[in-house]
Every structure is written in C-alpha cells, then in structure tokens.
Amino acid sequence: MGMKISVCGKGGSGKSTLVSLLATAAQARDLTTLVVDSDESNSGLFRMLGFNEPPIPLMALVGGKEGIKEKMNQPSILSETNITLEQIPDGYINEKNGLKLVSIGKIHQALEGCACPMGVLSREFLKKLRLGKDEIAMVDMEAGIEHFGRGIDNNIDAVLVVVEPSFESISLAEKIKELAAVINKPLWAVLNKISSDNLIAEIKAKLKSREMETIGVIPYDASVFLAGLNGHTLAQGRATHQAGEILESLLTAKT
C-alpha cells in the first residue's frame, strides 16, 4: 500500500515548495506521485509542478459551491467506497511522466461563504483514496491547523511540518505536533529558508526540546527562489536532491 503524506505549517513557510520538491524526487524514483492540492487559497501549485493549467477541482464533481445543491445528489466517484487513481475522471486530474495533480477546490469570490464543503471533500477523498504499492500521495494542506479540526489528517500516514526561522513557525509546529499525536500520526519537521549551519543547529535544538525530530533541511537554492518568484517549474538542483533524501527517510520510516 502506498503512503499518504501531508505537508503542513505556517503560511508562507514553503509547504507548496516542499510538496513540489518531494513530488519531483518521487517522480525521479519511478514512483507514481499524486499531489493533492488541499489549500483553497493558493493558486500556483500547478505551475510549480510543470502544468500549464490546473485540473478541474473535485468540488465540481458535486457541483462546485455555486451548483452544489443541484448536483450533490448525483452519483460520482466521490460516492464510491474506494477511489483509485485510474478512477479519477479526465480533466479532474493532471498527468505528466508519473506525476499527477488533483485539486479539491479554490475560493474565487469575496463573500462566497466558508470553505467547509471543501474540508469535507478533502477528508472524504483522502479517506477513500486507495494507492498501489508504487504510488504515493502528497497533500499540500492549507496553512495553519484548522485541517486537524476538520479531520482531514485522520486519513494520512505521516505529517511533515515545514519550519522557517521564526518563533511563530516553531510555535505552530509544536501545536501541529500535539494535534498529530492525538490522532497517532508520526510527524517530522523539515527546515526551510535557513542558510547558516549555526542557525540550522539552533532550530533543530529548539525543535528537539519540543520533542520534534528534523527529517531534513531544504537548502537555499537560487533556482527554487527564481521559480517561486516567476511562477515557473522547479528545476533539479540542491533542493530537489535534499528532498530526495527526505523522501528516502520517510519511505524507510514507513517500512
């Protein structure tokens, strides 16, 4: 059975970047990789993954927020007990060289109401998703911790929390660790945006004192910075190499 990994953390810490790096690393290892865009605010993940257009959001299968009442009583793959990658209809999944992307839904309008239906959809999709042994799913979570309250994390196998060098980020990581522990999910920290070895050691120590292990450090990589600035695909470089080591550690931890 494949692994479902969620990537959490403070807004702007680098969740989408880490997801993209891990997905690229998994692709290089011939794993079929499904990225689940579960962040209803972020709009550019598809570009980082090298797609020209985002997939149609899964919310559209139940009518989207505007048409939900008309369409929700019609059957779709979301009414199935199990969902395999092959069952996801064309248009709702982007595919390129073993890398796949689905999106739960996005907020488009001011005053359109809450994102609760997307939370339910995320939770149910991840619960029903069945992966083969060479398949892996990476979930780009919304920033913060509300997804724990919505039960989305109940259906994943491991949590990665991205930590940037700020007290707020470390504090939030500690809260995420506590929430993950309640539902018995293993958690590791990934450090991001930290350039000095001394600072890396200091932040690892801070996390250790809060009972969090660091599984890897994403080094500064100018190509990642430029790709992020211009909305381009991440290129192979120091950061993707390091993400590969994080992925190896995760897969080893699972087996």
Partner 1 sequence: MCLSTVYIQSKNRRIKVMQDVAQMEYNQEGYLLIGLLGDQKFVKGRIQSVDFVDDHKVVLEKEGK
- Interface with partner 1 (CB under 8 A): 62, 68-69, 72-76, 78-79, 114, 116-117, 119-121, 124, 149-150
Nearest residue (CB) to partner 1, 124 versus 178: 124
Quote the crossing angle between the two packed helices 15-28 and 222-230, to the nearest 10°: 120
Residue 24 CB, shortest distance to partner 1, in Å, is 32
The count of other CB atoms within 10 Å of the CB of residue 91 is: 10
- Residue 65 or 204 with smaller CB distance to partner 1: 65
Which is nearer to partner 1, 153 or 221 (by Cβ)?
Answer: 153
**140 close to 19: Cβ distance less than 8 angstroms:** yes
DSSP 167: H
Nearest 5°: phi and psi at 4?
Answer: -110, 120
| Shortest spacing between CB 70 and partner 1, in angstroms | 11
Which residue, 28 or 120, has its beta carbon nearer to partner 1?
Answer: 120
The angle that helices 15-28 and 238-254 make with each other, rounded to 10 degrees, is: 80
What the block records as the tokens of 199 is: 């600072």
Provide the residue count of the chain: 255
Other C-beta atoms within 10 Å of 60: how many?
Answer: 18
Half-sphere exposure of 182 (CA within 13 A, CB side): 10
**For residue 3, what are its two tokens?**
């692994």
CB of 147 to partner 1, least distance (A): 11
Residue 4 or 147: the one with the smaller Cβ distance to partner 1 is 147
What's the start-to-end Cα distance of the chain, in Å?
11
What residues does 37 pair with on adjacent strands?
103, 140
Indicate if the alpha-carbon torsion angle 181, 213, 186, 189 is positive or negative.
positive
Least distance (Å) between residue 36 CB and partner 1: 17
Shortest Å, Cβ 173 to partner 1: 24
Bridge partner residues of 34 (DSSP):
100, 137
CB nearer partner 1, residue 110 or residue 114? 114
Cβ 69 to partner 1, closest distance in Å?
Answer: 6
Shortest Å, Cβ 121 to partner 1: 7
| The pair of three-digit structure tokens given for residue 103, joined into one six-digit string | 């999106």
Nearest CB to partner 1, comparing residues 123 and 177? 123
